[in-house]
Chains A and B, each alone.
Chain A
Amino acid sequence: MKRINMSVLRVITLIMTLILIVSCVPAPSVAAITPPYIDTGIDPESWALIPAGSFPYGQHDHITEVNYDYEMMVTTVTNEQYARFLNEALTAGVIRVGEVEVETGEQVWAEIGAYGFYPGDPYDGYKHEEEIKPGDKLFFPTEVDGVRITFDGQTFRAIHEYSNHPATMVTWFGANAYCEYYDWRLPSEIEWEKAARGTEIVDGHGLPFPWGTHIERNNANYYSSFDLFVKMFGKLGNTTSVGFYNGKTYTLEEISYTTLASASPYGIYDMAGNVWQWTGDDYPKQHYRHMRGGSFYSYEVDLRVWKFNSAGPQHYSPQVGFRCAR
């Protein structure tokens, strides 16, 4: 009996020791490695027209009318574009840089970064509803891990290698401020989804992905899609340059990677994967802002066009970006 106990104990000890040893090996983190610059050939300054008309909305394809034409950015806002905005807005006095209070629910803390005024949201006093009061709100933190825009005390600069990657670590307030500064707006969820899937109906259903009915690994940047960045950063990967999945073949450190042309029916890129994208709606009694599209951290199921994530407008993350509509 004693021998059995000892051998069981030995095996368990061995397994636990092995686990402990391998657990101590550092894995590359998103903040720690800089990838080389990759030019995708897609212009982040371009816009796509989405004509008025109905489309199948949501997982259950409710035919929904959008009775006006609108335009959507062809790519998500890049770090270079956001740095330019921060500099222009700083000069114009629309934003300031320094310590700002961030408030959510019962928690209040201070962060350092770019901030500006937001007029607040209507408050209903509903259970679990968090009040979004008027006041200065954090747009973009400058002193946390994962930022790709640096600030030297006077000027914001995008890290060159990341300059054409999506602007991440931007709060909803910061995304909203960007769009409003140029007289644009964040797209509503309906606008976003129509731009992502178009109007086509196949076998009674709208398209689940911007490019069609099924997803391949080289359609988009998502969890373990085995793209170039997964090879560099481990299975979680990292953001890719905007418009990366356009049918081109890229070669990086002797690794060749061929992407599939994965734009939406309106020629809009990265509507699935890469980064979640803030949308503009403020829903009563909750004020969570919805994000669409999934990210490089998402499994492919979250890349389906109707899936959403949500967070308070103060949230920022290496996997959240945005684009504007007009």
Chain B
Amino acid sequence: MQFLKDRFDYLFRSTRGLTLVAIAVVSLITAIFGTLSGPMVEWGIRDVVVRLLNMELLPAAREGRIIMLYHTIAMTIVAIEVYFITELLPMKRYEQTIINGTITVGYLVSVIFGMAFAYWGRNFAFHGLFLLGQSLVFFAGILLAVALAPWKKEYCLPADSPYARTKSGLDLERVAFFVMAVSTLLSATFGAVSGSYWSNGHETFLAEDLIRNPFKTYLQKAIIGHLHIMLTLVAIAITLIVGRWLKFQDVLHRIAMPLMISGTVIITAGALSVVWIEAAHTIIYVGSVFVMLAALFFVIYSWGMLIREGTADIEKPTFGQKIRALLSDPIKFGPGWQMVFMNFTVSGVGIFMAVKLTEIFRVWPHREERIILTGHWHILASLIATIILFYFADLSGLKGKARKWFGWMVIIMSNLAFGSVTVFSMKRLFATEAEQQNIVNWTMLLTDIGLGLVLVVLAVFMFWRLFDLFKTKGWWSQEYKAEIKRNAEAEIEEQKRKLKELEETLKEVDK
């Protein structure tokens, strides 16, 4: 019994344990539901899985199933980001506990009942529970926003702080997290209100299917705005998280944070105003420039830091030594690199498409445009997932060969896969339909190899963590003890601060 209690405490009462559970949930979802499309269908694996798990896949409900699937994965990813935020940013212990507890119950209920509704018979009681789970995640978001409130005196930064701050000491990084959290809540509300019209004036659709329709309803526009901004905010959150992890600071930090704050507000306003304002896209572009500049400053800082740390013992490092230092730790190099790579496969493609829409892309059949759109945002979502994995690998204390193998395999194989997907989606630029077979075959093969190997690496990592749980004094035990210690120290500091505050209050009253 103690064996189970110890593991339960680790898995559900520590940041690393909670993150491990959430990554396992996403891995399971990917492993099971990933077999229902793409090459898995060609290889006949889909049919086996459907029979084995007794799934009920109505052809007319496919779009609905996909939407449920995206939501459950999104809930889990949001939970992981919240775990990171509650650990990285100073907040009260009880706040951290209640936020993590609420969001954990929320995403698990959402995943279990959402998937049960979508893939096993459309039982509407399950749909209700799926909504309950999402509501709990939303409620956890409110609690997070309250906990992040940047104007509290105890979270203000001293004048000599290397982090971005206002003259009055307001921590601008905390403001950025707070603005991101509030924007996410607002955007989720937008989706929820639109979604509430489901079967009541609104019908399930995938945005990529409507792209060429000049007549979109307000509800359709609202949902298109919602899905775009939610993914953007998840990306902004992970950028802030890795910035915190790699101690992003100094001049670049001071420039980046105001950009990130204003960019987040502008993009959110732009994406949500798609419903009413014709020029919404221009607003989004402006916000995107701000956010992307902030991310660029993070990349410059993090790579500079890796070079500085890696060449600290060399008086005048050569270019080669600097490059070696930069590449010496793929786990810390990875987040910045994936953000740079994102420009080739996501941002660059998106801008090219926007500029050449009438001239090139609208000349192609809708299906080609749809492939680019879906490829484009699948890549963005997956790049975010790899950045999460880098951070979690670091939190897990991955060292030595394992750290290098894990890091480089994830970087190289994900880049191979996403690069191939990009070539596949843009193939019409250089091959006609009659000549495309070679390109299709090989880009899809390279994509499968890349994604397959990333999943193998992830599986090895997850199995290592699983086997570790059976050890009495495994990594999990050390992590848990370290976290208890950190929390206890933080609690002592908090109690000291509180005690001092109360003493001052008493003095004030005695006067």
Q: Interface of A with B (CB < 8 Å)?
A: 1, 4-5, 8, 12, 15, 19, 22-23, 26-31, 59-61, 104-107, 126-130, 144-146, 205, 208-209, 213-215, 223-224, 233-236, 285-286, 288, 291, 297-302, 304, 308-312, 315, 317-319
Which candidate, B172-180, B236-244, B441-449, is the interface stretch facing chain A?
A: B441-449
Interface size class of B (residues with CB under 8 A): 35 or more
Chain B residues whose C-beta falls within 8 Å of the C-beta of A286 in the assembled complex:
212-214
Where chain A touches its partner, the secondary structure class is loop
Asked whether A214 lies within 8 Å of B405 as measured between CB atoms, the reply is no
Q: CA–CA, A312 to B366, complex, Å?
A: 9
User: Taking the nearest CB of chain A, how far is it from the CB of B353, in angstroms?
Assistant: 13
Q: CA–CA, A8 to B416, complex, Å?
A: 16
Q: Quick one: given A8-B408, A309-B365, are A31 and B435 in contact (CB under 8 Å)?
A: yes
User: Taking the nearest CB of chain A, how far is it from the CB of B371, in angstroms?
Assistant: 11
Chain B residues whose C-beta falls within 8 Å of the C-beta of A214 in the assembled complex:
59
B434 in complex: contacting residue of A106, A127, A130, A145, CB < 8 Å: A145
Q: List 5 A-B contacts (CB under 8 A).
A: A8-B405, A59-B203, A106-B359, A128-B214, A319-B433
Residue of A whose beta carbon sits closest to that of B407: A8
Q: CA–CA, A310 to B365, complex, Å?
A: 5
Q: Interface of B with A (CB < 8 Å)?
A: 37, 41-42, 58-60, 62-63, 203-204, 212-215, 328, 357-359, 362-367, 400-401, 404-405, 408, 412, 416, 432-438, 440-442, 445-446, 449
Asked whether B408 lies within 8 Å of A12 as measured between CB atoms, the reply is yes
Chain A residues whose C-beta falls within 8 Å of the C-beta of B433 in the assembled complex:
30, 146, 297, 317-319
Chain B residues whose C-beta falls within 8 Å of the C-beta of A285 in the assembled complex:
214-215
Residue of B whose beta carbon sits closest to that of A230: B42
Asked whether B432 lies within 8 Å of A144 as measured between CB atoms, the reply is yes
Q: CA–CA, A127 to B357, complex, Å?
A: 11
A145 in complex: contacting residue of B328, B432, B440, CB < 8 Å: B432
User: Taking the nearest CB of chain B, how far is it from the CB of A213, in angstroms?
Assistant: 7
| Chain A CB within 10 Å, residue with most, of B204, B214, B366, B367 | B367
Asked whether A205 lies within 8 Å of B214 as measured between CB atoms, the reply is no
Chain A residues whose C-beta falls within 8 Å of the C-beta of B404 in the assembled complex:
4-5, 8
Asked whether B41 lies within 8 Å of A130 as measured between CB atoms, the reply is no
18 additional A-B pairs beyond A236-B441, A309-B367, beta carbons within 8 Å, are A12-B412, A23-B446, A29-B435, A29-B438, A106-B358, A144-B434, A146-B433, A208-B58, A208-B59, A236-B440, A285-B214, A286-B213, A297-B433, A299-B37, A302-B367, A311-B365, A315-B363, A317-B365
Asked whether A19 lies within 8 Å of B363 as measured between CB atoms, the reply is no
Chain A residues whose C-beta falls within 8 Å of the C-beta of B445 in the assembled complex:
22
Q: Quick one: given A145-B434, A208-B59, A235-B441, are A19 and B449 in contact (CB under 8 Å)?
A: yes
Chain B residues whose C-beta falls within 8 Å of the C-beta of A26 in the assembled complex:
438
User: Taking the nearest CB of chain A, how far is it from the CB of B324, in angstroms?
Assistant: 8
Q: CA–CA, A213 to B58, complex, Å?
A: 8
Asked whether B446 lies within 8 Å of A19 as measured between CB atoms, the reply is yes
Q: CA–CA, A313 to B405, complex, Å?
A: 52
Q: CA–CA, A4 to B403, complex, Å?
A: 11
Asked whether A31 lies within 8 Å of B364 as measured between CB atoms, the reply is no
Q: CA–CA, A60 to B199, complex, Å?
A: 10
Chain A residues whose C-beta falls within 8 Å of the C-beta of B437 in the assembled complex:
27-30, 233-234, 236
Asked whether A128 lies within 8 Å of B63 as measured between CB atoms, the reply is no
Chain A residues whose C-beta falls within 8 Å of the C-beta of B203 in the assembled complex:
59-60
Residue of A whose beta carbon sits closest to that of B278: A127
Chain A residues whose C-beta falls within 8 Å of the C-beta of B213 in the assembled complex:
286
Q: CA–CA, A309 to B366, complex, Å?
A: 6
Q: CA–CA, A4 to B401, complex, Å?
A: 7
User: Taking the nearest CB of chain A, how far is it from the CB of B72, in angstroms?
Assistant: 20
Asked whether A224 lies within 8 Å of B434 as measured between CB atoms, the reply is no
Chain A residues whose C-beta falls within 8 Å of the C-beta of B438 in the assembled complex:
26-27, 29
